[in-house]
């Protein structure tokens, strides 16, 4: 997974506002797309609520590797709830996580951006691979790997562009450290891909309509 585990004050106020503004714009687009639907899909609303609760719970479970990593199920959120509702889901999760001390309040915007990337890429890959990889498990697994990889890239770019206040390192040194963290994250992403694949495969077997597909 990708998540910026920094406290408030790590980014300058300027970049805190920049990432918040970018996140608000994307969330605003998501809200517009949802409201533009002539008839709201109640199944998507239910799935979005379920994803919010499940992802928030698993988000708080830390795996004691390299200081602690965790799953976040953002590609699964994208696959089940779609990119628009999924964007709202990750915003809510980041707000609730900050409320219990998992990341700073000022970093909600940046973390929401990272997670939206994972949601959108996961959803898009799952849909685009349908004709070439019809089986649910490998398709969801690949979509998860792709989503989390792009999320890690987004995380690295945000931190390198913003800089970390109080850290006497060059951008190159920061990039080297973040690359190591991203490598660890991608190792955990393999586990998340397998779990996501199993979940999607089961749903696809019993209720393929929830994935927007037919038996």
Q: What is the CATH number of the domain that holds 18?
A: 1.10.1760.20
pLDDT at site 80 = 93
| Domain carrying residue 133 | 13-211
**Angle at alpha carbon of residue 8, lines to 5 and 11, rounded to 5°:** 85
Any domain includes 8: no
Q: Let me know if residue 4 belongs to a domain.
A: no
Structural domains counted in the chain: 1
Angle between helix 136-162 and helix 13-36 axes, rounded to 10 deg: 150
Average pLDDT on 172-198 reads 87
Q: How far apart are CA 42 and CA 47, in angstroms?
A: 9
How does residue 7 score in pLDDT terms, banded at 50, 70 and 90?
confident
Residues 6+ apart with CB under 8 A from 81: 44, 47, 48, 51, 89
Contact assessment for residue 158 and residue 19, using Cβ atoms and an 8 Å cutoff: yes
What is the pTM (predicted TM-score) of this model?
0.89
In-domain check, residue 6: no
Position 182 in a domain? yes
Tens digits of per-residue pLDDT, 73-98? 899 999 999 999 999 999 999 999 88
Mean pLDDT, the chain, as a whole number?
87
Which residue, 174, 176, 28, is CA-closest to 112?
A: 28
Would residue 92 count as lying in a domain? yes
pLDDT in tens, 34-76: 888 877 777 788 888 888 988 888 877 766 655 556 778 899 9
Q: Are 192 and 73 in contact (CB under 8 A)?
A: yes
Lowest mean pLDDT: which of 48-52, 111-115, 149-153, 162-166? 162-166
Does residue 7 sit within a domain? no
Residue 35 lies in a domain: yes
Would 1 be classed as within a structural domain? no
Q: What is the pLDDT of residue 84?
A: 93
- Average pLDDT in the 90-109 region? 87
């Amino acid at each position: 997974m990708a998540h910026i585990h920094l406290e408030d004050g790590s980014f300058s106020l300027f970049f805190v506002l920049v990432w918040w503004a970018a996140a608000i714009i994307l969330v605003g687009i998501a809200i517009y797309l949802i409201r533009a639907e002539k008839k709201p899909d109640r199944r998507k609303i239910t799935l979005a609520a379920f994803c919010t609760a499940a992802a928030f719970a698993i988000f708080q479970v830390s795996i004691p590797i390299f200081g602690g990593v965790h799953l976040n199920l953002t590609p699964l959120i994208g696959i089940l709830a779609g990119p628009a509702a999924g964007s709202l889901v990750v915003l809510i999760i980041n707000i609730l996580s900050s409320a219990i001390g998992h990341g700073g309040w000022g970093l909600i915007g940046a973390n929401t951006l990272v997670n939206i990337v994972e949601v959108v890429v996961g959803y898009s890959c799952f849909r685009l691979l349908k004709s070439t990889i019809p089986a649910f498990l490998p398709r969801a697994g690949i979509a998860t790997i792709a989503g989390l990889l792009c999320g890690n890239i987004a995380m690295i770019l945000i931190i390198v562009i913003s800089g970390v206040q109080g850290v006497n390192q060059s951008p190159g040194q920061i990039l080297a450290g973040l690359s190591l963290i991203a490598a660890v994250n991608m190792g955990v992403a393999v586990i998340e891909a397998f779990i996501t694949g199993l979940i999607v495969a089961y749903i696809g077997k019993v209720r393929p309509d929830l994935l927007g597909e037919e038996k």
